Amino acid sequence: MLYPAINNDILSLLLWGFPKSKAVRAMMYHELFELLKRGKIEDFVSTLQKMDAAKLISSGTKRRLSVYKKQESSLSELCSIFVSEVCLSSGEPLMAASFAIQLLEMGTSLDRPSLELLISNLTLGSSLEPSFTAYTITKLIDLHGVDNVSFNVLLDALLCMLHEPHIPFYANYIYDNIKDKLLSHERYSEIALQVLRANMDKGNLCRATDIWKELQNYSPATMSNEAALLNSLLERLVDEDLGWAAEFSEDIPHDLQRHPKVIDTLLLVYGKSPDKQAEFAELSKCLEAPLSRRSLSSLFSSFLHQNNEEASDKLLKAIFKTPSGLSSHDFGALIEKLLRQNKVQQSVEMCFKNDVSVSKIGYIHVLEHYLYSPEAHGDREIFLKTFCRQFKKLSTSDPAYYLFTSKIFGYFTTKINNSLSRTLFISKGLTALNKKESRFDFEKVLLPNQFNDFIVIDNHNRISCINAIYRQAIKQQDQVNIEWCLKELRSLGVPMSDILAHYLKVPSKELLA
């Protein structure tokens, strides 16, 4: 169409092949797009008319084309007609979106119905690349202007991004833009809970806790039915930072604190927090006999932490009488207590004598002790060899690997070199995103290279690893690593509003200004 050599006979051949071949359709649409870009309106309209004669365009496009008149807004009108036609007839809304984005970036406006039709088709269509689809939808909304897209279309786009796999980076963008209108919508709580779960799954606990607090204030009755979700969030906070979990617990209503699905985790938080001992004592009174297995573990760990020997001994006997016996968390709590008493050799022997499925958390606590006590070099080498041999027996999905990874990052950031922590993250975390194997040289920090097999950085803990690097960078006033962490957080889907509020600590009043 753009070249003299393509005559009417060749065009007729292309029109004949149009309904039979995706490649021919793509080529024809591309040529039509090029005509629009170059402002060759007459050629564009002529080609569409020939396609109409061959019954190759939709009835809607035919109708819009029939009323088309050359006027000042004609190019914008034709571009809207073209985008709608590609969207409806090609079965490839991403192709139509590509054309639309290029046109919008050129400064050509598209009418609202055409853009909303395109966005709706993108949200409905299945995609092998959900992240790319989410990006495309967000790009269209951003270029067209969020205020120029109807609330219902934006809401459908948000829900699309909350399906598995979650795409919270783009979902958060839309959520923030429609939140004011969403507050009066009957599905606000339901949708906000989905956004919360998506962020929690990806490790953005800052936003997850913020949404929980907002929902708790908005509809306490709704949140009273979300005890399981609250417990999951609380457990994630405990893994990240016990102090954070204790602070968050202050916003949990009394009825939820005593809920069977929450009370055991909250007991652990209170029991290990020095300034929450009164709350621990009060909450303990709410337990009813017979104690659940989780309650036994929470109380046991708490009393060990508080050096309450009599109570912990009684609980240990009760735990041994349960069908499941001593759990890995119970064992880990025992080892922690022994290490605080400097009973290192006894701790090591207990780990060696028990199956790794029970002793794995204890192994990690002993490892942490050796990492911070380099003077015990000989015993440390023996322990490290046994540690690697035993941990290879665990399944690749064992949650102990997350704890191991957390401890290694804590050690690297505070005792080795924070920039080396960044190297470790890039080596293991970013290559995991690209599904490429990468080995970090642990031997240069006097650790076994087998540790590569136990480092796990994925959606569950990727942001947590960045947080460890960021906290140390703040302490050291390390501007290079601070900037790197903030950029990584952005790339991992943490919205700028969350970074400003939780990382840069910009007051909420200034955020709203």
* Mean of all residue pLDDT scores within the chain: 90
In-domain check, residue 390: no
Amino acid identity of residue 69, one-letter, is: K
pLDDT of residue 130: 87
pLDDT of residue 14: 67
In-domain check, residue 95: yes
Greatest Cα pair distance in the chain: 96
Pairwise CA distance, residues 405 & 167, whole Å:
24
Pairwise CA distance, residues 94 & 99, whole Å:
9
pLDDT of residue 59: 81
Check whether 431 has a pLDDT greater than 80.
Answer: no
Pairwise CA distance, residues 270 & 272, whole Å:
6
Check whether 433 has a pLDDT greater than 70.
Answer: no
Q: Which of 172, 192, 222 is the last residue of a domain?
A: 222
404 vs 434 pLDDT, higher one: 404
Check whether 201 has a pLDDT greater than 80.
Answer: yes
Same structural domain for residues 282 and 332?
no
In-domain check, residue 41: yes
Q: Is residue 427 a contact partner of residue 438, using CB atoms and an 8 Å limit?
A: yes
Distance of CA 486 to the CA centre of its chain: 16
Same structural domain for residues 143 and 237?
no
Same structural domain for residues 8 and 78?
yes
Same structural domain for residues 209 and 232?
no
Check whether 512 has a pLDDT greater than 50.
Answer: no
In-domain check, residue 69: yes
Count of the separate structural domains present in the chain: 5
For residues 390-414, give the mean pLDDT.
Answer: 97
Check whether 7 has a pLDDT greater than 80.
Answer: no
In-domain check, residue 509: yes
Distance of CA 402 to the CA centre of its chain: 16
For residues 375-401, give the mean pLDDT.
Answer: 91
Per mean pLDDT, which range of 2-16, 75-89, 201-215 is the poorest? 2-16
For residues 161-184, give the mean pLDDT.
Answer: 90
In-domain check, residue 389: no
Same structural domain for residues 31 and 135?
yes
Pairwise CA distance, residues 505 & 131, whole Å:
29
Same structural domain for residues 145 and 217?
no
Check whether 424 has a pLDDT greater than 70.
Answer: yes
Range of the domain at 437: 395-513
Q: What percent of the chain has pLDDT over 90?
A: 73
238-278 confidence digits (pLDDT tens) = 999 999 999 999 999 999 999 999 999 999 999 999 999 99
- When pLDDT is cut at 50, 70 and 90, the band that residue 68 belongs to is low
- When pLDDT is cut at 50, 70 and 90, the band that residue 511 belongs to is very low
Pairwise CA distance, residues 209 & 215, whole Å:
10
pLDDT of residue 513: 45
Query: 3-state DSSP call for residue 380?
Result: helix
Same structural domain for residues 108 and 136?
yes
Check whether 412 has a pLDDT greater than 90.
Answer: yes
Q: Which of 161, 193, 213 is the last residue of a domain?
A: 161
User: What are the tokens at 153?
Assistant: 């279309």
Check whether 448 has a pLDDT greater than 70.
Answer: yes
Q: Return the HEC string of 336-377.
A: HHHHHCCCHHHHHHHHHHCCHHHHHHHHHHHHHHHHCCCCCH
pLDDT of residue 51: 83
Same structural domain for residues 142 and 74?
yes
- When pLDDT is cut at 50, 70 and 90, the band that residue 77 belongs to is confident
Same structural domain for residues 1 and 119?
yes
Same structural domain for residues 49 and 121?
yes
Same structural domain for residues 13 and 134?
yes
Buried b (16+ CB within 10 A) or exposed e, 30-43: ebbbebbeeeeeeb
Q: Which of 306, 323, 340 is the last residue of a domain?
A: 323
Check whether 296 has a pLDDT greater than 60.
Answer: yes
Question: Cβ contacts of residue 112 below 8 Å, gap of 6+?
Answer: 148, 149, 150
Helix axes 263-272, 277-284, angle to 10 degrees: 150
Same structural domain for residues 423 and 466?
yes
Pairwise CA distance, residues 510 & 513, whole Å:
5
Check whether 15 has a pLDDT greater than 80.
Answer: no
Check whether 3 has a pLDDT greater than 50.
Answer: no
Closest CA to 18 of 34, 7, 30, 33: 30
Segment (H or E) for 353: helix 344-353
In-domain check, residue 388: no
Amino acid identity of residue 371, one-letter, is: L
Q: What is the DSSP string of 50-117?
A: HHHHTT-S-HHHHHHHHT---STTHHHHHHHHHHHHHHHHSS-HHHHHHHHHHHHHTT----HHHHHH
- When pLDDT is cut at 50, 70 and 90, the band that residue 344 belongs to is very high
Check whether 510 has a pLDDT greater than 80.
Answer: no
Q: What percent of the chain has pLDDT over 70?
A: 91
